[in-house]
Amino acid sequence: MQEGSKPPIIEFRGVTKVYGTGHAAVHALAGVDLAIAEGEFVAIMGPSGSGKSTAMNLIGCLDKPSAGDYLFKGVSLGQLSRDQRTMLRRHFLGFVFQGFNLLPRTTAVENVELPLIYRGLPQAERRAMAMTALRRVGLEGREHHTSAELSGGQQQRVAIARAIVTDPVVLLADEPTGNLDTKTSREIMELVSSLNREQGITVIMVTHENDIAAYAGRIVRFVDGKVESDAPDREAA
Amino acid sequence: MLFEAVKLALQAIQRNALRSFLTVLGIVIGVGAVIAMVTIGRGTTAKVSADLAQLGSNLLFVRPGQFGPGRASTDAKPFNTRDVEAIRSQVPGLRAVAPVAQKSFTVIYGAENRQTAVNGTDNDYFVTQDWTLTGGRQFLDGEIRSGRAVCVLGETVRDKLFGRGDPVGRNIRVKNVSCEVIGLLRPKGQSSTGADLDDVVLMPLRVYHRRLAGNTDIGSINVSARDDVDTAKVQADIERLLRERRNMLAGQIDDFSVRDMKQLAETTMATTQMLTALLGAVAAVSLLVGGIGIMNIMLVSVTERTREIGIRLAIGALESQVLAQFLVEAVVLSLFGGLAGILLGLGLAWLATGGLRVPFVLDTPIILIAFGFSALVGVVFGYFPARRVAHLDPIEALRHE
Ligand SMILES: Nc1ncnc2c1ncn2[C@@H]1O[C@H](COP(=O)(O)OP(=O)(O)O)[C@@H](O)[C@H]1O
Ligand SMILES: [Mg+2]
């Protein structure tokens, strides 16, 4: 863990998430403590159903913990309203999903522009920023293709461009390569780790595969809703 | 921000062209039907009331026989000229009393001919029918008395026989009687029942009787009462007089009838208005069905788009921004559908009123009501389902398959 004066960008204190009630209650997270410093590249691993996605959704403010405290840059988010959590996502977080989650029948550049629209940026500026982001993920020439006209790897690149076009502090990726073949997965991981190295974006990524996790500097293992192990990745530089 | 919402909405509409089309279709048909029906109904009513005004004031229509359920007596004795004279001299408060003997004959000029209604009458007919001339003159007393063969043509007959030419002073043949044209009637167009009022030839009664009919029967008598008298009293006076002249016993049912044309027209008017209301009601049902169609499509659409809403929320859209987009989308669709429906409805009404030869009367309140209703339905059913989804936690919406 980091020793400096700066608080971790993300900190869980005894975070619990329970789905359902009574006998049907599932403890997806059962008291998780976790701190991630700015600029880290963390891989979250663990068996299916161990609570990885639940943890990611809580970090991403897409969902609320049942108990425990979540601090972002040292500020507890427990009391935030719905709109305040949206503003936090808008200004600090970028999402990449396993299923890409692009808007159908919409071109790459329009998808990438989307988060900028909600920030109220004017059209011309938006377009320019979206084009730059698409270039950064290596998609020049594909700006006006719709999702149906792009391969899986290209769609995930569009999703990454959409996530980084707002210059987020944290990039959250839940099994970003889960739907991609090995070669394409490598390319996507090269891209993600370069964003971490060159832009200093904090990356938190869920994966099942060891060679994907190997891109990270730290691996957190979940078992049954608890952190089982948390260690620097020996293979990573 | 509003501008952005409009743009997002337009994009979404364009991306879902088929669904947008179906939504709009419901509104277009509903609004179109209401406006077409009501406009046609209004035109018909206007036409009937114009006819009513054209009937001439206080017109009573006297004819032999009784009309009504189970009372048709077609063998009733016709009137004669002495009946007409008796009415003229004995009933007070009359402006004009016109005898009418009518039958259909072929009229011929050169190579042209036409089967038309020929009326034997006198100058009082112009008063009772409120009919003026566009050319020539009415009958002279001498012509009426001597039975000289002269005639006044309706516009339809003139057009058929003479085309562009002026017929005044020329001789036409009615059956085999040569007859000088002395005047032209101002065109009246169609009656509310669609009959061509201008398809007519007028002749003095005496020459009609002698040369065409071969008898002295009078088929009907048109009576115009003065404005300052009560038509009900005039009607009663005529009935009493005719009963006497036709030697009817007390208790015997009249073998003639005196009808107040204004009353008849008012009845027709009431019927037309009821029909308009009925058409409007039928159309309102179609508008309602259109509304339910919109509701359906909007509900399906929002369910389909739950994931889209989830994505938007995840990447930083506020609930209010997502709602604004859906609201604007619904407003744009219903405005567009409403406008298209108004155009369609007015277009149909324009064609129909042209075909029916009734005036095209714009009914602004109905247009506004139909339009407002469609907008309301579109907005309500576009907005409320979207609100339900936009209020979900983003992750709930995203998980939706
Ligand atoms: N929306 C939900 N409702 C009920 N149970 C859920 C829900 N989401 C996840 N779970 C349960 O919580 C546990 C953790 O799920 P998840 O975080 O998705 O695991 P992982 O991503 O590690 O596979 C699982 O047992 C799963 O069935
Ligand atoms: Mg998962």
Contacts of B313 in chain A (CB under 8 A): 86
For the stretch A142-192, pLDDT in tens is 999 999 999 999 999 999 999 999 999 999 999 999 989 999 999 999 999
Q: Is A95 on the interface with B (CB under 8 A)?
A: yes
Residue A124: Cβ-neighbour burial (10 angstroms; 0-12, 13-18, 19+): exposed
Q: Please, are residues B181 and B153 in contact by the beta-carbon 8 Å criterion?
A: yes
Per-residue model confidence (pLDDT) at position A237? 39
Does residue A5 carry a pLDDT above 70? no
Per-residue model confidence (pLDDT) at position A2? 46
Do B178 and B149 fall into the same domain? Answer: yes
Per-residue model confidence (pLDDT) at position B1? 64
Q: How many CB pairs under 8 A join A and B?
A: 64
Which of A83, A86, A101 has the CB atom closest to B398's CB atom? A101
Do B283 and B373 fall into the same domain? Answer: yes
Do B15 and B103 fall into the same domain? Answer: no
Do B233 and B274 fall into the same domain? Answer: no
Per-residue model confidence (pLDDT) at position B355? 86
Q: Which atom of ligand 1 is nearest to the CA of A29?
A: 14
Does residue A60 carry a pLDDT above 50? yes
Q: Is residue B16 part of a domain?
A: yes
Q: Residues B314, A70, A208, A149: what is their CA dihedral angle, to the nearest 10 degrees?
A: 10
Residue ranges of chain B with pLDDT lower than 70? 1, 53-57, 67-74, 192-193, 401
Per-residue model confidence (pLDDT) at position B243? 92
Q: Is residue B68 part of a domain?
A: no
CA angle B370, B371, B375 (to 5 degrees): 120
Contacts of B323 in chain A (CB under 8 A): none
Domain span at B282: 2-51+266-399
Position A147, amino acid: S
List the end-to-end C-alpha distance of chain B, in Å, as a whole number.
30
Contact A103 B8 (CB under 8 A): no
Does residue A236 carry a pLDDT above 50? no
Lowest-pLDDT choice from A54-63, A100-109, B208-217, B368-377: B368-377
CA of A52 to the centre of ligand 2 (A): 6
- Given the candidates 3.40.50.1370, 2.40.160.10, 3.40.50.300, 2.30.42.10, the CATH classification of the domain at A38-52+79-232 is 3.40.50.300
Q: Is residue B310 part of a domain?
A: yes
Do B85 and B186 fall into the same domain? Answer: yes
Q: What is the residue extent of each domain of chain A? A: 38-52+79-232
Q: Is residue B57 part of a domain?
A: no
List the end-to-end C-alpha distance of chain A, in Å, as a whole number.
17
For the stretch A70-94, pLDDT in tens is 999 999 999 999 999 999 999 999 9
Do B250 and B274 fall into the same domain? Answer: no
Q: Please, are residues A172 and A95 in contact by the beta-carbon 8 Å criterion?
A: yes
Run of H or E including B329: helix B319-356
| Last residue of one domain, picked from the residues B214, B229, B254 | B254
- The rounded Cα B395 to chain-centroid distance in angstroms is 61
Do B235 and B325 fall into the same domain? Answer: no
pTM equals 0.70
Do B318 and B376 fall into the same domain? Answer: yes
Q: Please, are residues B113 and B107 in contact by the beta-carbon 8 Å criterion?
A: yes
Within 10 angstroms of residue B382's Cβ, the number of other Cβ atoms is 28
Contact A166 B321 (CB under 8 A): no
Does residue A16 carry a pLDDT above 50? yes
Q: Please, are residues B156 and B134 in contact by the beta-carbon 8 Å criterion?
A: no
Q: Is residue B62 part of a domain?
A: no
Do B46 and B85 fall into the same domain? Answer: no
Within 10 angstroms of residue B361's Cβ, the number of other Cβ atoms is 17
Do B273 and B249 fall into the same domain? Answer: no
Contact B316 A89 (CB under 8 A): yes
Among A199, A196, A222, A207, residue whose Cα is nearest residue A41? A196
Instruction: Compute φ and ψ for B85, nearest 5 degrees.
Output: -60, -40
Q: Please, are residues A19 and B393 in contact by the beta-carbon 8 Å criterion?
A: no
Q: Which residue of A has its CA nearest to B13?
A: A105
Average pLDDT of the segment spanning A114-130: 93
Paired with A30 in beta bridges are A16
Contacts of A83 in chain B (CB under 8 A): 318-320
Q: List, chain by chain if needed, residues with CB within 6 Å of any ligand 1 atom.
A: A 19-20, 26, 28, 46, 48-54
Q: Is residue B143 part of a domain?
A: yes
Do B81 and B217 fall into the same domain? Answer: yes
Total number of domains in chain B: 2
| Last residue of one domain, picked from the residues B194, B227, B254 | B254
Q: Is residue B127 part of a domain?
A: yes
Average pLDDT, whole number, for chain A?
92
Do B249 and B351 fall into the same domain? Answer: no
Q: Please, are residues A162 and A114 in contact by the beta-carbon 8 Å criterion?
A: yes
Q: Is residue B42 part of a domain?
A: yes
Residue B337: both structure tokens together: 């559908």
Contact A63 B393 (CB under 8 A): yes
Going by C-beta distance under 8 Å and a sequence separation of 6 or more, which residues neighbour residue B181?
A: B136, B150, B151, B152, B153, B167, B168, B169, B170, B171, B172
Q: Residues B241, B246, B249, B253: what is their CA dihedral angle, to the nearest 10 degrees?
A: -90
Does residue A15 carry a pLDDT above 50? yes
Total residues found in chain B within this entry: 401
